[in-house]
Amino acid sequence: MAAQNKGTILITGGGGFVGGQIIREALESGFSVRLTARSASSAARTVARFPAFASALSTAIVPDMTAPEAYESAFADGAAITHVVHAASPFNLAPRDNVRDLLDPAVRGATSVLEAALRYGGGKVKRVVATSSFAAVIDLSKGLREGYSYDEKDWNPVTWDEAAVAPGVVAYCASKALAERAMWDWMEEHKDEVSFGLATICPPWVFGPYAHELRDTKGLSESVQLLNGIIDGDAIPAFDFGGYADSREVAAAHVRALQVPEAEGKRFVVGQDFRYQAAVDIAREEEPELARRMPVGKMGEWIPAYHIDGSLATRVLGLKYGSLRDTVMDTYRQLLKAREAEVAAA
């Protein structure tokens, strides 16, 4: 194991799909990690996923991420936190109450972690990287927008009032846009007081494997569940977002954005163009079991729509994108194994 001498990253949301990959990437890159969780049992579950790095992992319980004071112990207890990754945010496309379930926790959670880094970080925090989303970039009202290229200049223009009464997907996208905007606004207001800069990562659907082995397919992240749901499904999902990123690339982007000096003050769209039909064509071609269990759809179809330009992450962070084939198959291999384990345990 490499020496963990690059500093200590406080990571929120490490129990989730994306956060787990960020923990793995951070540990493998030589950082120590302090992960926050809402309960001791959930913190212990996450730590147990990284047995080779037990000595480099510590935990802090943050019962309410919308309260800056809840982070006090996370910044204390001996570990000098040098970096922060904020990946926690409610990822729920069917909220019962848009404000309570999405907007409020996302936006207040985003500024609270910054406030906590200022208040309790002792001037030692150098960079904060937040997991935003392509949801904060896309203007959903413009539809498929063929010929348009989305990049970091673009902002989802939805307002809080519109989002409060919008359908779940629109409200989720708004929660990401409003949370990211709130972070940039907070940074502007506190620029003379903080020791750290901010960078944000804006991926579209994140696919690819979890950092740990899955024992079942319960509680999957919304994006992984989309691919899982195509197995034994009736139809290929309709076009929703025309982009994807691999979970390992998203993690690498976060950890590089913590370190690359030029990343400070920037948002990064991390991803490539995507269509469900292309993923299904690959899965059916590569894996006979999936060929039997997936709808065929319209093989080879590529619905014309906007392009996602993730090239700034390559230029500034040195991020290299892999192939859709590898991402799709690594996702499905892990899901098929999890389904087998589920059957064996039943």
Ligand X SMILES: NC(=O)c1ccc[n+]([C@@H]2O[C@H](COP(=O)([O-])OP(=O)(O)OC[C@H]3O[C@@H](n4cnc5c(N)ncnc54)[C@H](OP(=O)(O)O)[C@@H]3O)[C@@H](O)[C@H]2O)c1
Q: Which residues are catalytic?
A: 176
87 binds ligand X (CB under 6 A): yes
Among 6, 28, 42, 259, binds ligand X (CB under 6 A): 42
Q: Which stretch binds ligand X (CB under 6 A): 24-32, 34-42, 146-154, 299-307?
A: 34-42
Distance of alpha carbon 172 from alpha carbon 95, whole angstroms: 9
Given a contact cutoff of 8 angstroms between Cβ atoms, the answer to whether 59 and 47 are in contact is yes
Q: Does 274 bind ligand X (CB under 6 A)?
A: no
- Letters for 195-234 (x = contact with ligand X by CB under 6 A, - = none) are --------x-xx--------------x-x-----------
Identify which of 246, 233, 315, 314 has the alpha carbon closest to the alpha carbon of residue 274: 246
- Find the shortest distance in angstroms from Cβ 223 to ligand X: 3
CB of 213 to ligand X, least distance (A): 15
Name which position in 9, 10, 18, 33 contacts ligand X (CB under 6 A): 18
- Backbone angles phi and psi of 131, in degrees to 5: -85, 95
Neighbouring C-beta atoms of residue 67, cutoff 10 Å: 15
Contacts of 296 (CB under 8 A, 6+ apart): 280, 284
**89 binds ligand X per the rule CB under 6 A:** yes
Rounded to a whole number of angstroms, the minimum distance from the CB of residue 176 to ligand X is 6
Q: Which is nearer to ligand X, 87 or 253 (CB)?
A: 87
| Tokens of residue 281, six digits | 């064509």
Which of 9, 10, 15, 85 contacts ligand X by CB under 6 A?
15
Task: Based on the shown chain and the rule CB under 6 A, indicate whether residue 133 belongs to the binding site for ligand X.
Answer: yes
Contact characters 43-72, ligand X, x per CB under 6 A: ----------------------x-------
90 forms part of the interface with ligand X (CB under 6 A): yes
Closest to ligand X by CB, 23 or 118: 23
135 neighbors 271 (Cβ within 8 angstroms): no
- From 127, 176, 254, 256, residue interacting with ligand X (rule: CB under 6 A): 176
Under the binding rule (CB under 6 A), the answer on residue 156 touching ligand X is no
Does residue 29 belong to the site contacting ligand X (CB under 6 A)? no
Residue 38 interacts with ligand X (CB under 6 A): yes or no:
yes
Nearer to ligand X, 17 or 332 (CB): 17
Q: Which is nearer to ligand X, 219 or 288 (CB)?
A: 219
Which span sits near ligand X by CB under 6 A: 85-93, 163-171, 258-266, 323-331? Answer: 85-93
Rounded to an integer, what distance in angstroms lies between the CA atom of residue 125 and that of residue 187? 14
The interface region with ligand X, picked from 13-21, 273-281, 298-306, 312-320 by CB under 6 A, is 13-21
Kindly state the smallest distance separating residue 203's Cβ from ligand X, in Å.
5
Residue 216, CB-side half-sphere exposure with 13 Å CA sphere: 7
Task: Write 24-30 long-range contacts (CB < 8 A, 24+).
Answer: 24/50, 24/211, 24/251, 25/248, 25/251, 25/252, 25/254, 25/255, 26/85, 26/255, 27/53, 27/56, 27/57, 28/2, 29/255, 30/2, 30/3, 30/4, 30/5, 30/6
Question: Rule CB under 6 A: which residues touch ligand X?
Answer: 13, 15-19, 37-38, 42, 65, 87-91, 105, 131, 133, 176, 203, 205-206, 221, 223
